[in-house]
């Protein structure tokens, strides 16, 4: 896995000053050739050794991720299966709204959510920060990207340093508005500590928390290897960051028929989220062959939407993108990877 910090160090060894490195990153992250710049001659500006290495640098950056297959859907989204330099594959999704892109932070995932195909794989390896931002550079060769959500394969809090390094680069050289960088997590004490420590000169992302239940026991069944934080305490930590950052907390809730779509859950959500700086995203489950869960009926989804909004919980009903093309996270990889679902993790979870 390649980190941006390693790449920067290699460029520094070739004589690059911070402004040269920032320039090259900017060109790459906007899908523009490194050796061109309309305003000045590269020969007059870049150190000689760096200039000579540009073709090799460009080749290395392009090799970080390449499109194996692209699957456009009727809703305007496109799910892409990407190959990394070592042949491992991850998914990213061009979203139909807001020029958004959903990126992966790990190959597989250790959390093991019972409704997610990626969770059945275990963690195969971490992505380096360069591999995370490469998904954006690659997507920009196809269309504009103005928003990046870290909701693809993997749990960002389990690859925290690389994810935060990628966020800094996307907010600076990548030109993406800080509020448009949405870090999604099941919640982890270290994540809240690191977010709180981001200073005024650093890029602060928006935060999305995957809650899925207000009851600790039910949540532990659904997200078996997520940190054991009480749902109310988890929300409070997220809301604290929302108040500090000025961005509303996004609360993710995959609606599962007969599991977390009951009146008990709705009643418990109201005092937790009413009049708080939060948006509750209810996501009716996208059914997956081989996994046990079912989607609630459209009538029940409407009832839930009305009940919560009428009681002061700002609720949106969101449908996951690209449902007609293996829309659940991890399905493309599971269908196409030769080793596929059920492959045992080859590395232990490493927390960064």
Residues lying near ligand SF4 in the complex (CB under 6 A) are found at 109, 111-113, 116, 118-119, 153-155, 186, 329
Min CB(330)–ligand SF4 separation in Å: 7
Task: Choose the catalytic residue: 80, 91, 113, 265.
Answer: 91
- How are beta strands 100-102 and 147-150 bridged, if at all? parallel
Q: Round to the nearest angstrom and report the end-to-end CA distance of the chain.
A: 14
Q: Least distance to ligand SF4 from the beta carbon of 201, Å? A: 30
What is the number of H-type helices and E-type strands within the chain?
Answer: 12, 12
The rounded distance, in Å, linking the Cα atoms of 173 and 129 is 14
Q: Output the smallest distance, CB 229 to ligand SF4, in A.
A: 14
Rounded Cα distance between 342 and 336, Å, is 13
Q: Are 26 and 173 in contact (CB under 8 A)?
A: yes
Minimal distance in Å, beta carbon 113 to ligand SF4? 3
Instruction: Give the shortest CB-118-to-ligand SF4 separation in angstroms.
Output: 4
- Distance between CA atoms of 108 and 125, rounded to whole angstroms? 7
Cα(204)–Cα(181) distance, integer angstroms: 8
Instruction: State which residue, 24 or 127, has the beta carbon closest to ligand SF4.
Output: 127
Catalytic (active site) residue 116: no
Element (H, E) at 255: strand 249-255
Q: Is 74 left (phi over 0), alpha (psi -120 to 50) or beta?
A: alpha
CB nearer to ligand SF4: give 64 or 329.
329
Q: How far apart are CA 92 and CA 31, in angstroms?
A: 17
CA distances from 185 to 97, 157, 209, 256 (A): 21, 6, 5, 19
Of the pair 23, 125, the CB lying nearest ligand SF4 is at 125
Q: Which is nearer to ligand SF4, 61 or 186 (CB)?
A: 186
By DSSP bridging, strand 206-210 and strand 122-126 are unpaired
Choose, from 80, 113, 116, 329, the residue flagged as catalytic. Answer: 329
What are the residues whose beta carbons fall under 8 Å from the beta carbon of 98, sequence distance 6 or more? 146, 147, 180
Taking the CA atoms of residue 270, residue 276, residue 279 and residue 282 in that order, the dihedral angle to the nearest 10 degrees is -10
Give 29 or 186: the residue with its C-beta nearer to ligand SF4: 186
- CB 100 to ligand SF4: min, Å: 17
Bridge partner list, 182: 149, 206
Length of the chain (residues) = 352
Is 217 among the residues known to form the active site?
Answer: no
Q: Which is nearer to ligand SF4, 57 or 149 (CB)?
A: 149
- Closer to ligand SF4 by CB, 135 or 276: give it: 135
Whether the CA torsion 101, 106, 110, 114 is positive or negative: it is positive
Note whether 108 and 121 are within 8 A (CB).
Answer: yes
Supply the minimum distance, in Å, between the C-beta of residue 210 and ligand SF4.
6
Which residues are the active-site residues? Answer: 91, 329
């Amino acid at each position: 896995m390649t980190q941006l910090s390693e790449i920067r160090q290699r460029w520094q060894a070739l004589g690059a000053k911070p402004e040269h490195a920032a320039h090259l990153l900017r060109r790459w992250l906007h899908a523009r050739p490194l050796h061109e710049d309309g305003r000045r001659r590269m020969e007059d500006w870049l150190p000689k050794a760096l200039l000579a290495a540009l073709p090799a640098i460009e080749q290395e950056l392009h090799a970080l991720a390449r499109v194996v297959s692209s699957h456009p859907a009727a809703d305007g989204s496109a799910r892409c299966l990407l190959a990394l330099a070592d042949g491992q594959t991850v998914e990213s999704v061009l979203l139909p709204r807001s020029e958004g892109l959903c990126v992966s932070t790990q190959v597989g995932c250790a959390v093991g959510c019972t409704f997610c195909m990626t969770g059945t794989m275990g963690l195969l390896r971490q992505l380096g920060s360069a591999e995370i931002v490469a998904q954006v550079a690659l997507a920009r060769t196809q269309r504009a990207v103005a928003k990046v959500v870290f909701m693809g394969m993997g749990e960002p809090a389990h690859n925290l340093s690389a994810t935060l390094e990628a966020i800094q680069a996307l907010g600076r050289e990548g030109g993406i508005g800080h509020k448009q960088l949405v870090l999604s997590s099941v919640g982890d004490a270290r994540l809240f500590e690191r977010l709180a420590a981001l200073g005024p000169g650093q890029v602060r992302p928006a935060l999305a928390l995957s809650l899925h239940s207000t009851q600790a026991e039910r949540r532990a069944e659904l997200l078996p290897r997520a940190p054991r934080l009480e749902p109310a305490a988890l929300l409070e930590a997220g809301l604290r960051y929302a108040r500090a950052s000025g961005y509303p907390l996004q609360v993710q809730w995959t609606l599962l028929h007969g599991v977390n779509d009951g009146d008990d859950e709705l009643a418990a959500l109201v005092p937790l989220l009413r009049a708080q700086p939060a948006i509750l995203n209810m996501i009716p489950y996208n059914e997956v062959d081989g996994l046990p869960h079912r989607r609630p009926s459209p009538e029940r989804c409407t009832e839930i939407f009305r009940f919560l909004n009428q009681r002061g919980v700002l609720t949106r009903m969101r449908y996951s993108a690209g449902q007609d093309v293996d829309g659940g996270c991890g399905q493309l990889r599971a269908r196409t990877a030769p080793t596929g679902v059920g492959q045992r993790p080859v590395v232990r979870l490493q927390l960064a």
